[in-house]
Structure 1
Amino acid sequence: MLWPWRRKTRRAMARIAIEGPIAGATRTRVLKAIKQVQERECPALLLRIDSPGGTVGDSQEIHSALLRLKEKGCKVVASFGNISASGGVYVGVAADQIVANPGTITGSIGVILRGNNLSKLLERLGVSFETVKSGIFKDILSPDRALTGAERDLLQGLIDSSYNQFVEAVATGRGLDQQLVRSFADGRVFTGAQAKELGLVDQLGDEETARCLAAELAGLDPEKSKPITFGAPPKRFGGLIPGRSQLRAIGQALSLEMAWSGQPLWLYRP
């Protein structure tokens, strides 16, 4: 028996949007949406990305889920919006094709890890920490002291490993030589037009361009292929208040700085 919802969506194009930093909540929402797309056997997925990137593990899980979806026969086209950088690129290279606006900010291929050294401030305030640890690296990136040379070497090895994974994924996804990718994967950002010249983007255009391309790849009629959105992020009433979006952006930046301190990130941080 073919359920009514399957009759409706079996030949329909799906759409999933990744907006804002890629972290736990975004990963959960997007993975659930990808699973729904797979269950409903949608022949094409329009993946809209407007994100500066985020945490390494969350980006990798979404990337892997997209590869599994493609193995089931679903054609995936990524549409880069205002910004698709770092972890946004990592997710995007899992797609069959990538479309970007000429002025899209993309690139920032690399890894960053930051800690907060507050030792001088704490000293002025008369605050000190007493630490008991099981190993010399257990309190690495503690905010009350600077890194030692050994700690810096250890963290650099961690960053290098994560960077190599990023380069490999980009090279594989885009069909590029790894040495070529390394030549521009130094954290720099590009416009969509520059990214196309480097082979990171297939076509220049907007989301409508990407939709038509996804329909073409899946053998659908572009005139009749209106995408069905899965995993839409919750709407916030506060966003309608003037100035609220700017305050939210500032608060988000501060919370990311504190919450992600000490984590390797695939994140564009200007």
Structure 2
Amino acid sequence: MSEEKRSSGWFWFLLGGGLFAALVVVVALLGYAAVKTLGGDSNFRGSSVGVIDINGVIVSAQNTVDQLRKFEQDDSIKAIILHINSPGGGAAASQEIYEEVSHIRNEKKKPIVASIESIGASGAYYIASGTNRIYANNASIVGSIGVIMEWTNYGDLLKWAKLKPEVLKAGSLKDAGSPVREMTPEEKAYFQGLIDNMHEQFIHDVAQGRGIPEAALKPLATGQVWTGQQALPLHLIDKQGGFRDALLDTARQVGISGEPNVVKPAKKRHSLLDLITTDADDLWPNPERLLEKQAGFYFLWK
């Protein structure tokens, strides 16, 4: 065999070996990522506690509900903890998460616990009330069982700018809540009726979740907040303590001895492919959207 053919053979051998090694590395990395996505080290499968963070203003229920359903269906997750630090948010979004929490608690019978960090108010407290047990620190802010609706009236600004809005409508309440004029008495009564109905739903669901008679809860449903220390004798929480207390107590309750494995939902990371295939508004909101302020109903402490 000539020297030229021998060198060519070594070249293709090394090239094939390098490609095979690269393939092995890629497969190993994908396997590792899959294990992490499913919840960590497989040695801990069957002895895990799922933890879902609820932080900031609640705008949408979709991500949290999806995470709850994944943990609900995963038999290796023995219990779920909602780690809450939120003033609440949209009324419908908070209610949707509450309903999923109640489903897991009452229908699936999987233990689900709330651990309130600094704030667990209004819609966030609504969600927490659906769990089996609520933990809060002594200085945590808890409660705010109330509904709020607000928007900015900029009618005077339009007058100053000599702009006059024109509205055509069918139905006297079609443009109720218009930000360019004062509300009529009919509109105020209309909105107050909606708010009162939502407040009744809030009180009913919290009373049901906490096992408190509605008559006993109504005096507390003024939108007021309490510290964790004040909330305990009012039966708004079950135990004073932080996340660590909630984690260890919950682990013991479901028969996990020693240090429990904590599983959190995998975080979605945007790649270069996302920049090419995703609507840009999903990654960087249109500045015009940031200026929009729609009238809405909120379970929100401010």
- Give the TM-score band, short-chain normalised: 0.7 to 0.9
Letter in 1 for 2:298: L
Q: Output the CA distance in 1 between the equivalents of 2:206 and 2:238.
A: 14
Alignment of 1:166 with 2:199, yes or no, is no
Letter in 1 for 2:71: V
Instruction: Give the C-alpha shift of residue 112 in structure 1.
Output: 0.2
* Pick aligned residue for 1:59 from 75, 94, 101: 94
Letter in 2 for 1:63: Y
Instruction: Give the C-alpha shift of residue 156 in structure 1.
Output: 0.5
* Pick aligned residue for 2:59 from 12, 18, 23: 23
Alignment of 1:102 with 2:102, yes or no, is no
CA contact (8 A) 1:75 1:96 kept: yes
Q: Output the CA distance in 2 between the equivalents of 1:172 and 1:48.
A: 21
**Alignment gaps of 5+ in structure 2:** 1-34, 271-288
State how 1:1-40 maps to structure 2 within 5 Å: 9-24=45-60, 27-40=61-74
Q: Residue 98 and residue 234 in structure 1: after superposition, are their counterparts in 2 closer, same or farther (change >3 A)?
A: farther
Q: Output the CA distance in 1 between the equivalents of 2:186 and 2:124.
A: 32
**Alignment gaps of 5+ in structure 1:** 236-253
CA contact (8 A) 1:29 1:231 kept: no
Q: Output the CA distance in 1 between the equivalents of 2:86 and 2:268.
A: 14
Q: Which residue of structure 2 aligns with residue 224 of structure 1?
A: 259
* Count of equivalent residues: 243
Q: Which residue of structure 2 aligns with residue 184 of structure 1?
A: 220
Q: Output the CA distance in 1 between the equivalents of 2:143 and 2:80.
A: 22
Residue 47 of structure 1 aligns to a residue whose secondary structure is strand
Instruction: Kindly report the root-mean-square deviation, in angstroms, between the aligned alpha carbons of the 2 structures.
Output: 2.1
Q: Which has the larger radius of gyration?
A: 2
Q: Residue 233 and residue 53 in structure 1: after superposition, are their counterparts in 2 closer, same or farther (change >3 A)?
A: farther
Instruction: Give the C-alpha shift of residue 9 in structure 1.
Output: 3.6
Q: Output the CA distance in 1 between the equivalents of 2:78 and 2:172.
A: 53
Q: Which residue of structure 1 aligns with residue 125 of structure 2?
A: 89
Alignment of 1:264 with 2:281, yes or no, is no
Residue 128 of structure 1 aligns to a residue whose secondary structure is coil
Letter in 2 for 1:192: G
CA contact (8 A) 1:16 1:232 kept: no
Q: Which residue of structure 2 aligns with residue 149 of structure 1?
A: 185
Letter in 1 for 2:255: G
Letter in 1 for 2:115: S
Letter in 2 for 1:29: N
CA contact (8 A) 1:128 1:144 kept: no
Instruction: Give the C-alpha shift of residue 215 in structure 1.
Output: 1.2
Q: Output the CA distance in 1 between the equivalents of 2:126 and 2:170.
A: 36
> Which sits farther off after the overlay, 89-98 or 207-216?
207-216
Letter in 1 for 2:296: Q
Letter in 1 for 2:66: K
Give the structure, 1 or 2, with the largest relative contact order (CA under 8 Å, sep 6 or more): 1
CA contact (8 A) 2:119 2:142 kept: yes
CA contact (8 A) 1:10 1:43 kept: yes
Q: Which residue of structure 2 aligns with residue 45 of structure 1?
A: 80
CA contact (8 A) 2:84 2:117 kept: yes
State how 1:189-200 maps to structure 2 within 5 Å: 189-200=225-236
Letter in 2 for 1:33: Q
Q: Residue 234 and residue 145 in structure 1: after superposition, are their counterparts in 2 closer, same or farther (change >3 A)?
A: farther
Q: Percent identity?
A: 31
Q: Residue 207 and residue 9 in structure 1: after superposition, are their counterparts in 2 closer, same or farther (change >3 A)?
A: same
Q: Output the CA distance in 1 between the equivalents of 2:268 and 2:213.
A: 36
Q: Residue 202 and residue 59 in structure 1: after superposition, are their counterparts in 2 closer, same or farther (change >3 A)?
A: same
CA contact (8 A) 1:50 1:82 kept: yes
Which 4+ residue blocks in structure 1 deviate beyond 4 angstroms?
4-8, 231-235
Q: Output the CA distance in 1 between the equivalents of 2:207 and 2:93.
A: 20
